[in-house]
């Protein structure tokens, strides 16, 4: 009998506990135990409570987001760049020798960044005829063009060699320095800039930054003929005046021609060590960069201490030194790719592609249509990317902007009306 009573008591107790577990929470009362049959739900509630407790004391970690800072950065040229076709962008990579025939047709068809004018473009002409011709080129180009010339003075004078433009040719840097020291370069540069600007020319491929004190050197006659420090001061003075006059400047021939032969006719290898370049040849280039030079022209010399396999103009290593060690942010351009010094390293049709891969922004070319098509094909087949092309074109457009040839959408301090937007004698 007692066993039956005990059994009934246990059954009743279990029923009461079960009813209490399910009914008491309805009235807001919870029990500190979990029934075995609902252990899973209890664990979920316990884990949720623990998670809530942790989140109240430890800040919840934000979900990781990709770093898009680079992609969000905009460039003032991008608005213009976005309106350009790939073909137009590729055209802007070329600073070409002005064709003898149908130069306007080439302008309309291939849209080069600019024309380089040589003696043949001034021979038998007048100031008015040159002005009119250049104006015609500018009117035929949707993006105003760079109009360049080599007017160094001395042995390289494309314009002043003809009396229609100046009574006598501009003197060489050596002659000017001998007559009146560094002061001579202020008024000489100002007169050059005035003459060229009057004709519609906006870039002078000068000054020559090469250091040479030996009359036997190929480049000697075109240099100051003094040591590195004096040459650096000459370059600084000349570039400063060109910047003041709004004339585009080009430092040449990086990384320094030195005591070497003529790259127009042969492969030339410079065996000097890197320290010599850093303590001598680089000094004029550094001075020009500090003075605000717009562009640097790279030679076809093989500089063994930088790259023993490729000419400087096709060497990524040489361009890295110019960008990283010398800190140059402007336009880098090649010497004319038609010169014999690079014939052993590339076929004419792919020279421009290699030049762009090396880091050049502009290509001086005497065979524009062939090299233009080679670059275009390289983008089509994936050898070059359009983003690479864009990077170089931005620098070219920046140069044109600095010269007042184009206006960016975000220009607020200069009215478009104030801007000029109407814009091989193997020389360089």
Give Cβ neighbours of residue 46 (< 8 Å, ≥ 6 apart): none
User: Smallest Cα–Cα separation from 80: which of 340, 347, 408, 428?
Assistant: 408
Tell me the two tokens of residue 291: 């003075």
Tell me the two tokens of residue 253: 């021939």
- Per the listing, tokens 């009306």 go with 417
- Per the listing, tokens 């009362």 go with 29
253: annotated active-site residue? no
Concatenate the DSSP letters of all residues of 33-77 into one string: ---GGGHHHHHHHHHHHHHHHHHHHSPPPPPP----HHHH---TT
Concatenate the DSSP letters of all residues of 218-284 into one string: TTGGGS--S-HHHHHHHHHHHHHHHHHHT-EEEEEEET---S---TTTS--EE---HHHIIIIIHHH
Tell me the two tokens of residue 147: 């109009």
Alpha helices in 76-172 (DSSP H): 78-81, 86-91, 103-110, 127-139
What phi, psi does 146 have (nearest 5°)?
-70, 135
Q: What sign for the dihedral angle of Cα 109, 113, 119, 122?
A: positive
| Count of C-beta atoms within a 10 Å radius of residue 118 | 20
Options 150, 270, 294, 335, the catalytic residue: 335
Q: Find the largest Cα–Cα distance for the chain.
A: 142
Decide: 236 and 291 in contact? Cβ < 8 Å: yes
128: annotated active-site residue? no
Options 264, 300, 319, 392, the catalytic residue: 264
* Count of CA atoms in the C-beta half-sphere (13 A) of 79: 7
Catalytic residues: 264, 335
């Amino acid at each position: 009998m007692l066993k039956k009573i005990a059994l009934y008591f246990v059954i009743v107790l279990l029923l009461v506990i079960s009813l209490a577990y399910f009914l008491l929470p309805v009235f807001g009362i919870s029990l500190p135990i979990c029934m075995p049959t609902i252990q899973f739900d209890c664990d979920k509630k316990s884990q949720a409570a623990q998670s809530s407790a942790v989140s109240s004391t430890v800040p919840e970690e934000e979900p990781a987001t990709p770093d898009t800072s680079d992609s969000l950065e905009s460039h003032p040229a991008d608005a213009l760049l976005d309106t350009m076709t790939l073909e137009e962008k590729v055209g802007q990579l070329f600073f070409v020798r002005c064709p003898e025939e149908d130069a306007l047709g080439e302008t309309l068809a291939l849209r080069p960044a600019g024309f380089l004018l040589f003696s043949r473009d001034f021979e038998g002409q007048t100031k008015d005829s040159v002005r009119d011709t250049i104006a015609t080129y500018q009117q035929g180009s949707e993006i105003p063009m760079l109009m360049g010339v080599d007017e160094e003075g001395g042995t390289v004078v494309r314009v002043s060699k003809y009396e229609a433009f100046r009574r006598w040719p501009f003197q060489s840097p050596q002659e000017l320095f001998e007559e009146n020291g560094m002061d001579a370069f202020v008024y000489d540069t100002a007169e050059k800039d005035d003459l060229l600007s009057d004709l519609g020319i906006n870039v002078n491929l000068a000054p020559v930054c090469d250091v040479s004190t030996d009359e036997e050197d190929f480049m000697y006659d075109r240099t100051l003929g003094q040591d590195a420090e004096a040459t650096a001061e000459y370059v600084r003075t000349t570039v400063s005046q060109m910047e003041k006059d709004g004339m585009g400047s080009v430092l040449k021939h990086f990384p320094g021609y030195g005591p070497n032969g003529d790259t127009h006719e042969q492969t030339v290898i410079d065996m000097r060590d890197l320290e010599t370049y850093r303590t001598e040849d680089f000094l004029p280039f550094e001075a020009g960069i500090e003075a605000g030079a717009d562009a640097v022209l790279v030679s076809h010399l093989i500089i063994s201490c930088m790259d023993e396999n490729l000419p400087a103009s096709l060497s990524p290593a040489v361009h890295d030194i110019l960008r990283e060690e010398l800190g140059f942010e402007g336009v880098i351009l090649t010497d004319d790719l038609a010169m014999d010094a690079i014939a052993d390293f590339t076929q004419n049709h792919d020279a421009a592609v290699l030049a762009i891969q090396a880091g050049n922004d502009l290509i001086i070319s005497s065979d524009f249509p062939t090299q233009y098509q080679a670059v275009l094909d390289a983008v089509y087949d994936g050898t070059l990317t359009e983003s690479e092309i864009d990077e170089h074109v931005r620098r070219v457009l920046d140069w044109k902007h600095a010269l007042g040839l184009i206006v960016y959408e975000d220009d607020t301090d200069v009215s478009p009306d104030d801007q000029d937007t109407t814009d091989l004698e193997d020389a360089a």
